[in-house]
Structure 1
């Protein structure tokens, strides 16, 4: 009797549960992505990992999405989170192992890249300069080829890695050292 009653209750739950059609399923238009160093999936011991969302230009200008002189979340949705698995340096500034939020402030031919102790932040709306852990100003290069989706990737460098960011025609390289 218990089995019959249990079966009836489970069947009723499935019938009463709202159905989700493929047309109703919402897919994030700026999907989450990550880049890690070392870049090989065969290397489990990472030095650094960046988690971000990949917006698209969709005919818009980068200068409108990331205006000069204003703090930008570097991507879409939540602000970028950087996890250092060991003590490193952002340029020449020592940074302890841990997780940080990363922002950028575009300024013409250079960007100021900022690591903040704030976490779980939506966009850059709640950015607080007093929580900055490290800042570095890096040059921006402009390329002929435009990239539709914002992207990040690491390349190995002597004693560390450089985080490359690209969107539209802008390219930025951020040095992290051991």
Structure 2
């Protein structure tokens, strides 16, 4: 697959979605709804933590490598989308650099990254509900203030379950 070339922090304004991704693949990669119903209500710190855990995967243009040249995102587009919609273009985010794929393989590489991520992270609704409730219970018993650092809706079990569309009676 692609060779990793390290990571670095770059301004959001220097990152674009790869121009070689077809419109249908772009739509598909951005169509995945977040599990949390109101992601825009998450705090900046919580969103920065998410982006730190799922940095945009980017490549440099094959031509000259000037510092101001854009980086092209092919994976973790959702993290990039969230960052660009929440933070200023001058805000720096960590990106994972990879070798540029051949242009005709960009869609396949992007879909490979997306499928591998979903295979590793996706949970069925039943499993996800128990996992999320367990996380909430642990934080509520040990560090309840951290729940509010993620979202104001995490202050009690009812609003937490409502935020994720979970039946609170099951948890």
TM-score normalized by the length of structure 2: 0.23
Bigger-Rg structure (1/2): 1
Higher helix proportion: 2
Higher strand proportion: 1
